[in-house]
Amino acid sequence: MTFEELGVRDDLLRAINDLGYLAPMPVQECVIPHLLNEESDVVALAQTGTGKTAAFGLPMLQRVDTSTRATQALILDPTRELCLQTASDLADYAKYIDQLSILPVYGGSSIESQIRALGKGVQVIVATPGRLLDLIKRKKVKLEQVNTVILDEADEMLNMGFVDDINEILTHVPEQRKMLLFSATMPKEIADIARNYMHDPKEFVIGTRNESSSNVKHIYYMVRANDKYLALKRIVDARPRIYGIVFTRTRAQAKEIADNLIQDGYNADALHGDLSQAQRDAVMKKFRERNLQLLVATDVAARGLDVDNLTHIISYALPDDNDIYNHRSGRTGRAGKTGTSICIIHSREQRKLKAIEKHIGKTIERREVPGPEEIIEKQIFALTDQLERVEVKEDEIAAYLPPVLKKLSWLSGEDLLKRLLSLEINRLLDYYRDAPVLDLPEKTERGRDKGDRKARGKREKDSRVAENGYERVFINVGKGDGFFAPDLIRMINQNTHGPQVGLGRIDLLGSYSLFDVRLGDAHRVISALKNLDYFGKRLYLEMAQEGKDYAGTGGNAPLKRNRAERRRAEREAWSDDLEFEPRRRGRSGKPRPHNRKGKAEELPFAMFRKKDGKKKDKKRK
């Protein structure tokens, strides 16, 4: 099947031939002939990167009457980036059509310049819903002669809260028009739009719902939560030509990872909601021009991004919605090319990974985190390939070549090559010398080793042992107290005087934490932090002792005494003006302070009634 057989016009055929389109993709084979020959509307369900823009763009352009400047086609996109990308693609398709005007209309740009362009007459408008609705209210856009309306990435617009805007916009276009709806999924709200505004729509489903691209390989690495960043660096180092997006859960995490990558010498930058439009444009320009290898982004910030030839998608944090994983991985492996979707998980994310596997209908293959030997080998091959392909500019180097040849004349060609490779190898050897293994044993859903309790006990014992050159320190706060690595680093920086403390591995547990500090720094850190107050909890630190049960009374005894003292003081403070009444009552409505065994119940919450009759809720400490 060719585009000519689908009915595409000659001037459009010339343009797509220039772009290198050889044969239509499945969504194009289904949609193009229907739009050119049938009157019914279309609902097309297809994943990202399946050729949807050409599927609706080519027949839409073929229907435009260039003898009039009236707006005849309206395309709605969820984001500014997708709006600009769609308009750019349509302009490429229409390069041989005279007197055809295409205008992207979006927020974050001057509305006055868009109004001036609309005043001159535009046949095709590509718009974001918010800006188009603003222009409609100002009566600066006329949609009375629109004959084609296209909702692109409709489910994304739903996720971004544009349903009401879309409903409002559709009331301003003629009742008799052709409507196209393109979406990866069909939630209820999108189905309602199809039912209310479309005429006997024909549905095309490309592939199966929720199915991921067959051109994408899915793999994962399982490491400790604290080792995710180290694993990310090794994954990138083992792929010198990587060009991809690293997805995070929060904007703060995206910024932190991007800053760390930049500091470590990687070509990376972040894309998140705290950036201004100008900053966002600058980052995307660098990424599209491949001046950046890695873009670190949240799912919200990356919505609508359309970047060609991505080699890898890395999920630094798994999404809560399985469909979002499909959207992520669908950004690579496009247009017949292959791509790789990588997940970096810790043991508690295995259940979520299994749910994603079931959702996409594929097995996500486990790999070992690349080791130093593999990374060095890949880097050397990449350097060798770079040397082989480098362009030698004879005229420009001619003036510098004689003194260099004179200075290095005593070296043979083989010696020169060895020294050149050593420049790269020595750096990598120094960095990866004594690098630890990051992989964790595979766990069951409940987090237990599969039949290997001895290995689990050994790892717990190893957590008491510091790495070479470090000392292990215990602190009596953990994740259950809202205590995380940034809190520890901040407290050490603020309270420890003298030379900067060298921090190593940090293990956060429920009620306590263990961390490594450089030899000689441990006693200084313990003295600086001991007895500080952390949200009402007095800190207690000591040198970690191998084999000691810190989950028992040994490590928490000072903490338990503090809690008892605090409870006693609170009871005394309230006893003067409050009467205690248990929240839990029996069927008679009377207080029930004892359980069936006759023992007093431990009630986590209690209601206190003031003696003047007023009530107040207070959480018992």
Residue of 379, 475, 481, 386 lying closest to 432 (CA atoms):
379
Distance CA(398)–CA(249), nearest Å, equals 52
CB-CB contact of 244 with 312 (8 Å):
yes
Residue of 216, 159, 165 lying closest to 183 (CA atoms):
159
Sheet with 615-619, strands from edge to edge, namely: 578-582, 605-610, 615-619
Residues 6+ apart with CB under 8 A from 17: none
Task: Render pLDDT for 422-444 as a digit per residue (tens, 0 to 9).
Answer: 877 787 777 777 778 888 876 54
Q: What is the mean pLDDT of residues 496-506?
A: 83
**Tokens in use for 293?**
């290898």
Q: What is the reported pTM?
A: 0.54
What CATH number labels 463-557? 3.30.70.330
What is the DSSP-derived secondary structure letter of residue 71? Answer: -
570 vs 11, which has greater pLDDT?
11
pLDDT value at residue 565: 52
Q: How many CA atoms lie within 13 A of 77 on its CB side?
A: 23
| pLDDT beyond 90 at 582 | no
What is the DSSP-derived secondary structure letter of residue 512? Answer: -
Q: List, in sequence order, every residue forming a beta bridge with 516; answer none if it has no partner.
A: 472
Give me the DSSP letters along 516-579.
EEETT-HHHHHHHHTT-EETTEE--EEE--TT--TTTHHHHHHHHHHHHHHHHHHHHHHHTTEE
pLDDT value at residue 568: 53
Distance CA(418)–CA(424), nearest Å, equals 10
Residues 6+ apart with CB under 8 A from 112: none
Distance CA(103)–CA(118), nearest Å, equals 8
Pairing relationship of beta strands 605-610 and 102-105 according to DSSP bridges: unpaired
Task: Render pLDDT for 445-478 as a digit per residue (tens, 0 to 9).
Answer: 344 444 444 544 444 444 557 777 788 999 988 8
pLDDT value at residue 102: 93
Give me the DSSP letters along 117-181.
HHHT--SEEEE-HHHHHHHHHTT----TT--EEEESSHHHHHHTT-HHHHHHHHTTS-SS-EEEE
Intra-chain end-to-end CA distance of the chain, in Å = 73
Distance CA(119)–CA(108), nearest Å, equals 20
pLDDT value at residue 378: 84
Q: In whole angstroms, what separates CA 566 from the centre of its chain?
A: 43
Give me the DSSP letters along 301-366.
TTTT---TT--EEEESS--SSHHHHHHHHTTSS-TT--EEEEEEE-GGGHHHHHHHHHHHTS--EE
Domain with residues 3-205, CATH architecture: 3-Layer(aba) Sandwich (3.40)
pLDDT value at residue 345: 93
- Among the listed ranges 84-88, 404-408, 556-560, which one has the minimum average pLDDT value? 556-560
pLDDT value at residue 557: 41
When pLDDT is cut at 50, 70 and 90, the band that residue 47 belongs to is low
| pLDDT beyond 70 at 590 | no
CB-CB contact of 344 with 374 (8 Å):
no
| pLDDT beyond 50 at 483 | yes
pLDDT value at residue 602: 40
Sheet with 124-127, strands from edge to edge, namely: 102-105, 124-127, 73-76, 148-151, 178-183, 42-45, 202-205
Q: What is the mean pLDDT of residues 293-310?
A: 81
Task: Render pLDDT for 511-566 as a digit per residue (tens, 0 to 9).
Answer: 888 998 888 888 899 999 988 888 778 899 998 887 677 765 334 444 444 545 55
604 vs 318, which has greater pLDDT?
318
Domain 216-372 has CATH 3.40.50.300: yes
Distance CA(310)–CA(294), nearest Å, equals 10
Distance CA(508)–CA(512), nearest Å, equals 7
**Tokens in use for 100?**
């055809």
**Ramachandran quadrant class, 547 (left: phi over 0; alpha: psi -120 to 50; beta: rest):** left
When pLDDT is cut at 50, 70 and 90, the band that residue 186 belongs to is low
pLDDT value at residue 222: 93
Four-CA torsion 593, 595, 596, 597, nearest 10 degrees: -110
- Ranges of CATH 3.30.70.330 domains, the chain: 463-557
| pLDDT beyond 50 at 251 | yes
When pLDDT is cut at 50, 70 and 90, the band that residue 398 belongs to is confident
pLDDT value at residue 459: 44
Percent of the chain beyond pLDDT 70? 81
Q: What is the mean pLDDT of residues 142-151?
A: 91
The three-class DSSP label of residue 493 is: helix
How much is the mean pLDDT over the chain? 79
Instruction: List alpha helices for 467-513, DSSP H.
Output: 485-495
- Ranges of CATH 3.40.50.300 domains, the chain: 3-205, 216-372
